[in-house]
Amino acid sequence: QVQVVESGGGLVQAGGSLRLSCAASGRIFSIGDMGWYRQAPGKQREVVASISSGGSTTNYADSVKGRFTISRDNAKKAVYLQMNSLKPEDTAVYYCYGRIKAYGSGYADYWGQGTQVTVSS
């Protein structure tokens, strides 16, 4: 069984920073791409950032480029999202995902339960 768990959300003032963490655990053979999505109230879930298995390739939504940085630590089976210069429009539930191959299975996408980020103006 594979689990993905986020942490690090909270309430911050506009212009502030937060760092989200996400760790995968269980019978994991390998992990491919990892990343973050978010969903604001009344809106569809949107991709925020992604990172390749080796960490050499990253992609960002236009709305967060230059403010957010995604990174990963493969030894810890973890991915992080450093969020700087936060804006009220960044308020959302942030979800971590990982494309994970468990022992005895093929690759599948596993999602965390989400962590709330609230940016006050």
In the prediction, which pLDDT does 68 show?
A: 98
69-98 pLDDT tens trace? 999 999 999 999 999 999 999 999 999 999
Give the mean pLDDT of the chain. 97
In the prediction, which pLDDT does 86 show?
A: 98
pLDDT band at 62 (very low <50, low <70, confident <90, very high): very high
List, edge to edge, every strand of the sheet that includes 68-73. Answer: 2-7, 18-26, 78-83, 68-73
- Rounded to whole angstroms, the Cα distance separating 39 from 109 reads 18
In the prediction, which pLDDT does 119 show?
A: 98
The SS3 call for residue 75 is: helix
42-55 pLDDT tens trace? 999 999 999 999 99
